[in-house]
Structure 1
Amino acid sequence: MGELQSAVDALAGEDLTHLFGPALLERLGPLLVLQNRLAAEVARTVRQCELTGASEHDGLKSMAAWLRGHAHLSTPEAGRVVRTGRALAHLPATAAAFADGTVTPGQMATIAPIAGEEQRAAAEAQGVDLGAVDRALTEVAQGPAHERLAQAVHHYLEALDPDGTEPDPTEGRRLSIAKHADGSVTGRFDLDAVGGEKVQAAIESIVQANRPQGDDRTRGQQNADAFVQLCDNQLAAGTLPTLRTVKPHVVVTIDVDDLADTDTTGPGAARTGFGARISAARARWLACDATISRLIMGPDGLPLDVGRDKRVVPPHLRRAVEQRDGHCVFTGCAAPTHWCDVHHLREWVADQGETSLENSALLCERHHTKAHHGFRVERDPGGRWRTWRPDGTEIVAEPVLRV
């Protein structure tokens, strides 16, 4: 262990700044193999610890608990290492490839379920040669079709019990949302095949319907925008279940002085209904097409007076804007009216822009954001909408030539 520690220290002490592409990749390849080999030794050692009850030495009942407390692994990570260690003795081909560094920890964890006690018993009862399956899956993991490893394992496990009871696919559904300090969120979901198909179909429909000219978003960004648009459509439709007699909507609270002060961005000046802090500039963007409620607060922080809700863009004006514009007016975009906000060309708070047909433009969520970050849309005397970039150059939609 001392020699290994010294070798790692020597690697960590190397100066990489003078290296470039090929040399860096030559260094990286062996490191990845060694990383796999070290993970194999960790799993093998964890299994031996489990067999000898080593965790009891530190007062813990399982190696999973020890890994969580002493190695700071998450619960899923600790479970994966323990299950991998248990599978090694039953999967010699995969174990050897893991020890050689040609199979990754993730691949080993993917294959490990076939060595579970129930799965081994089912294979034996049906006369399945587990060794042959082990070798075949190892070849998949090491070969060009490695991305299909999980699918191959899934097919094998299903084949072990072809006449078994069909499980309820919804029981495995999970959706978790983590909020960060800046108000942004990170999410993860696990869905069954049918649930996943529904989500993909809904998102894909919006992605394919909103591909404006010059769109340079990555596919991941397109999916994220489509997901937000999907939620926006549902919120705007007003058909979602009510929350304590109120239809679900985005709530933002901001001091009127912060809302009106356009000299600064006003970071953290506004608070959303779920507790996120956003800038005053972001709140002004949301206020373009929103319902405003006035609250007068006393010195003790308690409301003294609550004014009546007032829709910034009344329904009759929105209908007129939709009828005139027909879709998002940002050059190159044709997002439908029900995806769009009514944008004030001259801000109604900062510039005292009136809420009128002449001062309104229909913009989708993506391009409404652009309009509040330096882009500008205007309607010329001939009734044609034109768009300018922050640098003053005009965005011109080139004609599509068909041959």
Structure 2
Amino acid sequence: MLDRTAVLVAARNRLDAEIARTARRAELIQAPEHDGLGSMRSWLIGHLRLSPAEASRVVRAGRALEHFPRLAAVFAEGAATAAQMDLVAAGVGERERARAAEQDVDLAAFDQTWAALAVSSSHQTLAVAVKAFEAALDPDGTEPDPTEERRLSMATHADGSVTGRFDLDAVGGEKVKAALESIVQAHRPQGDLRTRWQQNADALVQLADNQLAAGDLPVVRKEKPRIVVTMNLDDLVGEGAGPGTASTGFGATISAARARWLACDSVVSRIVMGPDGTPLQLGRSHRVVTPALRRAVVARDKTCVFAGCGAPHHWADVHHLIHWALGGETSLTNSALLCEPHRTKVHHGFRVQRDPGGRWRTYRPDGSEILLEPRLV
């Protein structure tokens, strides 16, 4: 069983190497444009359902292959893993390679060392060796721009909960800690049994609540930022817990009970949706999409409807399927949610269409449909 496991991992490594190489070739010839997408990363996410992080790793690895031939060779042989390849690709990107060229740093020597370590040493040993590359580029330790070190990532899980990670420079971290600490210290009720982690998390949510309530955050798509929850009227006025019956603006699913809790201090907008989602006719008296119509389109479409995209609604505009100048009405039936790049695509030959069953379909300029079904051979 151990031998079989080793053989399977080596086979997976070889396959990962070929995927990275092929993805890089597709990127170089701008193949994603054929399906109306602007990058190989977005195509991997939209068409093959890779996670954003995994798609980034594939693209990074593909770009690194041509710069580190020895490491690429052991990757192709199955002796190095995709994680090891990404360790190098993430740490030595285009900017780092440019600095190396300016300082006459020999990348080939590092390539040989990293390849040898990938085959014979632990993952952590390789990580230390890649970190040494930064020291070789900047032996005197010039102070970097602290803002370039800031990172924040968040992931929404199936139950609507959110996890994340952030990395901040010393100054940025001090500002965040000062803001959170002020809220933590201002709210310390007697008998508080929360852990410090829970107090910090509550303070972060309270900080967001304060900013949303203040009303001075930037306007997004002509509307002030707000918490959006969509649910059926029966669930809203009912009494049951109703698990999984309401959806939030960022795509999470929550219970009816939690949605009713939010509605206690909220504005409730009623949008009547027919079987095919076509009501809310505004006619030709309104060329500009009203906030009410936008909310209805967002409630129906959720994200950009272009095949393989799925950009969140706050990145998208409401697009007239039949142009206003050609007689198209400003109505729900004549509207589609499209992000800016794909709205441009639709104005240059691509086409989106909603079939009688409510499914959005996307067509290339030559009339062929962009399909997202698995391509198994």
TM-score range, shorter chain: 0.3 to 0.5
TM-score (structure 1 length as normaliser): 0.42
Q: Which has the higher contact order (CA 8 A, sep 6+)?
A: 2
TM-score (structure 2 length as normaliser): 0.44
